[in-house]
Amino acid sequence: MPYLQIIDLKTHFPVKNADPIKAVDGVSLDIHQGEILGLVGESGCGKSTLSRTVMQLIAPTGGQVILNGEELTSLSASEVRHRRLDFQMIFQDPYASLNPRMTVFSTLAEALRTRQPKLAGSDLNHAIAELMERVGLDWRYIRNYPHEFSGGQRQRIAIARALAPQPKLIIADEPVSALDVSIQSQILNLLNGLVAELNLTMIFISHDLSVVRYIADRIAVMHFGKIVELGESEQLMKNPRHGYTRELLASIPKIRDTA
């Protein structure tokens, strides 16, 4: 059984005196444990709405989200909050997603205690140090605030926070688009290594097909709220079947040889 099943999921937003906006319109996907599924499409195609619906941050209009055999869409709000320990999100802008008034220590301690409420003292210090090491952060910065870090370092803090509750599913929504190109590859390599090391399942969302190709096992192409193409990464890149996928490929910048 797939670890995550998305079945005919719909998220429609009503508009007064007009047809509803069909941000997600009948999406079905199976994602297996340990897999990285890349979800790609232009801005406004419904990628982020799909991710927030899977996370149960937005109530679906219809369809099902089944995580490890349990239907999330049938759970109460309190049951979803408890279940959410098993699926966490990494957002596009790490500065906006981190509390500017909390140090790294406070941020990670709060996240760790969602799973282990009684964690304290040397055990807490050890757990935080282990998290920081895992994402490539120096323990010396434990008392620093988000504004004292670079964009790449802030995203590492956000990744550590997502890992703290020991989830099995990570949804990464444009996690490198706000970073310099030189830092993007470092974060991609980090995420790839974490998936392998911790046997995580990941949905990696991006508008950049070349970035998704680098990290994903399979790629789902989303257009106007629907999945228009799904396939193994290399196969899809070499032999796209849908016209929209071919348009995305054609938009990837190419270096022209002027010699």
Q: What is the pLDDT of residues 179-238, one digit of tens each?
A: 888 899 999 999 999 999 999 999 999 988 889 999 999 999 999 999 999 999 999 999
* pTM of the model as a whole: 0.92
Q: Which DSSP state fits 25? A: E
Nearby residues of 125 by Cβ (< 8 Å), 6 or more positions away: none
Q: Give CATH superfamily name and number for 4-93+169-250.
A: P-loop containing nucleotide triphosphate hydrolases (3.40.50.300)
Helix (H, G, I), strand (E, B) or coil at 126: helix
pLDDT tens for each residue of 18-60: 999 999 999 999 999 999 999 999 988 999 999 999 999 999 9
What pLDDT is attached to residue 202? 97
Asked if 109 contacts 160 with a C-beta cutoff of 8 angstroms, the reply is: no
- Rounded Cα distance between 160 and 134, Å, is 8
Ordered by start, the domain boundaries in the chain are 4-93+169-250
